[in-house]
């Protein structure tokens, strides 16, 4: 399993990583996702993933606590000015891969009571609506890798995936693996179904190997562009 860890301070991330490593079930862990899209209590609550230095600090601390053969993935927030800069900082700090994207910071007001609907005031927006944001983020980071602006690492695409077609968009933008989150609330079989639909879509389009489809859209830009 790919374990996902989080913390309120950089030190807490390291502590969680250390606890995970000591777990009797650590043999089942094939990788660790570091969810840096959390507010940093030590830095005015600014989200780690909004600052390249904070992001790099967390990744470096977690990297130290885990065996070298356990890959770590930095989970990035789309709520940033330049996601490529954050992605580059994480990879240089030791991330073996990137997970994109986390939820978008959002808020809903209860129009009957005219007060914030969520007890925490703001919350993370997920679901099909954020799919195009995820595709854009994966596209931008993958493009930077192709252009050699940041090192090339695998990307796990996540955000708004409900169907095999949604997954295929992320793959074509540059994702080498897919996560399904919110869609499982609607259909508990969604991850299995998406996998099946994606495999069928790739076969229909004549791809012999999954990896041939990863990032394919970058080679199919309009030449007049």
Partner 1 sequence: MSGAFLEPTPQQSVRTPQLTGELIATRRVGAYHHLTFVAPGVAELAKPGQFVAVAVGGDTSANLLRRCFSIYRASSVDKVSSIHNVSSIHNVSSINQVSPSGTHGGTVDVVVAARGPGTRWLTGLSVHDEVNIIGPLGHPFPLPKEPVACVLVGGGYGSAPLFWLAAELRERGCHVEMVLGAATKDRLFGVVEARRSRRAMDGVTVTTDDGSMGIKGWVSDVLTDVIRRCHADVVYGCGPMAMLKSITDVATAQGAVAQVAVEESMACGIGVCMTCVMPVVGDDGLTRMVRSCVEGPVFRGDRVRWDAFEHGWCAVPQDAHGAVAMRGH
Binding positions for partner 1, rule: CB under 8 A = 6, 8, 38-39, 41, 45, 113, 119-120, 127-129, 182-189
38 is catalytic: yes
The CA-atom distances, in angstroms, between 42 and each of 60, 136, 140, 225 are: 17, 31, 30, 45
Which residue, 145 or 180, is less far from partner 1 as judged by CB? 180
Query: In the bound complex, what is the minimum distance in angstroms from residue 180's beta carbon to partner 1?
Result: 11
Options 10, 20, 36, 38, the catalytic residue:
38
Cα–Cα distances in Å, from 128 out to 46, 135, 141, 183?
26, 12, 21, 8
Minimum CB separation of residue 223 from partner 1 in Å reads 34
Contacts of 32 (CB under 8 A, 6+ apart): 2, 3, 4, 5, 17, 20, 62, 66, 70, 71, 72, 73
CB-nearer residue toward partner 1: 30 or 41? 41
Nearer to partner 1, 152 or 186 (CB): 186
Q: Cα separation of 39 and 34, whole Å?
A: 13
* Min separation Cβ 209 and partner 1, Å: 30
Start-to-end CA span in the chain (Å): 42
Pick the closer one to partner 1 by CB: 189 or 203: 189
Minimum gap (Å) between residue 152 Cβ and partner 1: 33
Instruction: Just list the catalytic residues.
Output: 38
């Amino acid at each position: 399993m790919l374990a996902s860890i989080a913390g309120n301070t950089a030190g807490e991330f390291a502590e969680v990583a250390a606890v995970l490593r000591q777990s009797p079930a650590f043999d089942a862990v094939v990788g660790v996702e570091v969810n840096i899209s959390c507010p940093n209590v030590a830095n005015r609550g600014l989200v780690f993933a909004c600052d390249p230095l904070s992001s790099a600090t967390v990744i470096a601390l977690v990297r130290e606590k885990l065996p070298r053969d356990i890959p770590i993935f930095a989970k990035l927030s789309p709520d940033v000015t330049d996601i490529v800069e954050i992605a580059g900082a994480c990879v240089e700090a030791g991330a073996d891969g990137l997970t994109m994207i986390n939820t978008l910071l959002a808020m809903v007001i209860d129009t009957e009571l005219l007060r914030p609907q969520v007890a925490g005031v703001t919350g993370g927006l997920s679901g099909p609506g954020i799919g195009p944001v995820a595709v854009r983020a994966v596209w931008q980071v993958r493009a930077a890798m192709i252009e050699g602006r940041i090192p090339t690492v695998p990307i796990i695409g996540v955000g708004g995936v409900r169907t095999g077609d949604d997954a295929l968009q992320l793959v074509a933008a540059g994702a080498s693996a897919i996560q399904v989150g919110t869609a499982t609330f609607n259909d508990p079989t969604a991850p299995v179904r998406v996998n099946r639909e994606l495999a069928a879509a790739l076969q229909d389009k004549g791809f012999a190997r999954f990896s041939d489809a990863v990032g394919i859209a970058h080679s199919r830009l309009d030449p007049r562009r």
